[in-house]
Amino acid sequence: MRNEGLGSWPARRARKTPDAAALVHGGRTITYAGLLARVSGLAHGLRDLGVRHGDRVGYLGPNHPAFLETLFAAGTLGAVFVPLNTRLAGPEIAHQLADAGVSVLVHAPSHAGLVDGVRDRAPVREHVALDGPGPWAHGYEEVRARGAEAGAAPIDVPVSLDDPCMIMYTSGTTGAAKGATLTHGNVTWNAINVLIDHDLTAGEVALVSAPLFHTAGLNMLALPVLLKGGACVLVPAFDPAATLDLVAGHRVTFMFGVPTMFQRIAREPGWDAADLSSLRILTCGGAPVPPSLIETYQKRGLTFLQGYGMTEAAPGTLFLDAAHAESKAGSAGVPHFFSDVRVVAPDMTDVPPGETGEIVVRGPHVMRGYWGRPDATAAAFTDGWFRSGDAARLDEDGYAYIVDRIKDVIISGGENVYPAEVEHAILADPDVLECAVIGVPDETWGEVGRAVFVPRPGARLTGDAVLARLDGRLARYKIPRSAVAASELPRNASGKILKGRLREEYGEP
């Protein structure tokens, strides 16, 4: 094969285990041979729609076999896959479609209205709808079937591991979403790291309820399992009660989730009696795992494997295995096998154990850069090391402990919320003179946003009104849970807002 990338995975796996289950969804099982046939037909269909090497193909919708089929079909053509966050508002989707230059967009019925509303603001040439053709969209199955009928010969265009595979958007502290460009090599090496450090087997059955548009759900769970030849049980959304039934019914061995998901599962009435005997691997990320939650699962004979990562690193960076889950509780672990991590001072010299510095990472899984943003890319790297913006300390054994978030990111239920983006949206309100967003503790989500704003003189503006005006302009998880009016915001001599002072005054739950 001339294709070294992800687009060749279905063919490589089908020639080894054609009859093994690859995807399970809604009572339907797709074998690896079936997955290859569907991906091949879709690739031919997308090529008929004009998709060529380097073009961008977007996907918007909940977990579904079509997500992975579109990813692999794009890879077959050497095109670049762009997964879109289903929780984003119309203007945010339009920005990412335009920024990536998406030429073909596949979307689910749940998002047809949103896509229709942004068609005049995005350069998408062809739309493909999962629920069939319409006045402005091709039907997904029709595109795939036509491609299967017309494409007898396999597509084998040259794709190298250095070619871009996907653009995954991650907001930055400037408030503008940036597309991390991950190569086929980045994603492949990350999957190899997972195979090594998680000790995956070909008999793995993964429950994929975390969204595939998130780097963890896709790159830490689904793709490594498919590379190894296991099965992915896809569900469109997380449901704690249904999770217990799915684990028992499908004999699930591998799950990923953020702490909030695992907390909700353990609070289900059927938790104590649920059959969890098949579970072998529970990975948790996105936020620190509370000790009480660890204890709850240990009582059921289950241990969390924790880690730390970032979209720009595809994402696995640090990993804490089960053997050290108790002795190194609170740690994010040590670097993945093919990953190098340091904790450094501002001058890039290593800090001694116990001292706080910035996490920097280097390895074959680290992105090539931000899509179309050479300045942002240059600023993110120093001497080949990606600067995470996160502060940590190492212990004497080399285990890393995350102690702060330099970039002020708020992690709410595993979602990254960047204050600057929210602040920009609030400041667009003519009745708001100044504002700052901070994180405050929350028992359910770990942390939620709180906006502190200065109203325009003469404006009768309440906190509820400020938040209400964000509805439809930002994804709901980005909208702060509370907003407080202030007469002024504390600033230093250069005019920078002192968020430490704000947290002291307004940071209580």
Residue pair 283/269 in contact by the 8 Å Cβ criterion: no
All structural domains of the chain with their residue ranges: 31-160, 186-405, 410-506
Whether omega before 236 lies within 30 degrees of 0, making that bond cis, reads: no
Work out the angle at residue 118's Cα, subtended by the Cα atoms of residues 131 and 91, and round it to the nearest 5 degrees: 120
Determine the residue type at 340: D
Q: Are 319 and 307 in contact (CB under 8 A)?
A: yes
Phi first, then psi, for residue 271 (nearest 5°) are: -60, -50
Please, what is the end-to-end C-alpha distance for the chain in angstroms? 57
Dihedral in degrees, nearest 10, Cα atoms 371, 374, 380, 382: 140
Assign domain 186-405 to a CATH class. alpha beta
Strand partners, 441: 447
The pLDDT score that the predictor gives to residue 484 is 96
Q: Residue 171: what pLDDT?
A: 59
Low-confidence ranges of the chain (pLDDT < 70): 151-152, 171-176, 287-288, 404-407, 492-496
DSSP-derived letter for residue 372 is T
Please give the Cα distance from 208 to 407 (Å, whole number).
30
Please check whether residue 112 is in contact with residue 13, taking contact to mean a CB–CB distance below 8 angstroms.
Answer: no
Q: Classify domain 410-506 at the CATH topology level.
A: GMP Synthetase; Chain A, domain 3 (3.30.300)
Per DSSP, the residues of 425-460 read HHHTSTTEEEEEEEEEEETTTEEEEEEEEEEPTT--
Predicted structure pTM score = 0.86
Contact 254, 281 (CB under 8 A): yes
Pairing of strands 334-335, 340-344: unpaired
Q: Which of 106, 119, 315 is nearest to 224 (CA)?
A: 315
**Three-state secondary structure call for residue 387:** strand
Number of Cβ within a 10 Å radius of residue 126: 19
β-bridge mates for residue 244, sequence order: none
Cβ neighbours of residue 396 under 8 Å, at least 6 residues apart? 353, 354
Mean pLDDT of the chain: 92
Taking each helix axis from N to C terminus, what angle separates 259-266 and 291-298, rounded to the nearest 10 degrees?
A: 50
10-28 residue pLDDT tens: 999 999 999 999 999 999 9
Q: Which two tokens stand for residue 208?
A: 């994929």
Cα distance between residue 455 and residue 459, in whole Å: 6
Q: Are 312 and 367 within 8 A, CB to CB?
A: yes
CA distance 450 to 434: 14
**Predicted local confidence at residue 29, as pLDDT:** 98
The architecture (CATH level 2) of 31-160 comes to: 3-Layer(aba) Sandwich (3.40)
Would you state the pLDDT for residue 173? 38
Q: Are 285 and 258 in contact (CB under 8 A)?
A: yes
Q: Secondary structure of the chain: what % helix, strand, coil (to 5)?
A: 35, 30, 40
Residue-level pLDDT at 404: 57
Same fold, 31-160 and 186-405: yes
143-193 tens-digit pLDDT: 999 999 876 688 999 999 999 999 999 854 345 689 999 999 999 999 999
Residue 354 tokens, joined: 């116990």
DSSP collapsed to 3 states, 169-218 = EEECCCCCEEEEEEEHHHHHHHHHHHHHHHCCCCCCEEEECCCCCCHHHH
Task: Please give the pLDDT value at position 421.
Answer: 82
| β-pair partners for 105 | 58, 127
DSSP assignment string, 143-162: HHHHHHHH--SPP---B-TT
Tens-place pLDDT, residues 114-151? 999 999 999 899 999 999 999 999 999 999 999 998 76
Q: Quick check: helix, strand or coil at residue 409?
A: coil
The pair of three-digit structure tokens given for residue 325, joined into one six-digit string: 């889950």
**Residue 396: Cβ-neighbour burial (10 angstroms; 0-12, 13-18, 19+):** exposed
Long-range CB contacts (within 8 A, 24+) of 467-472: 469/429, 470/422, 470/425, 470/426, 472/89, 472/90
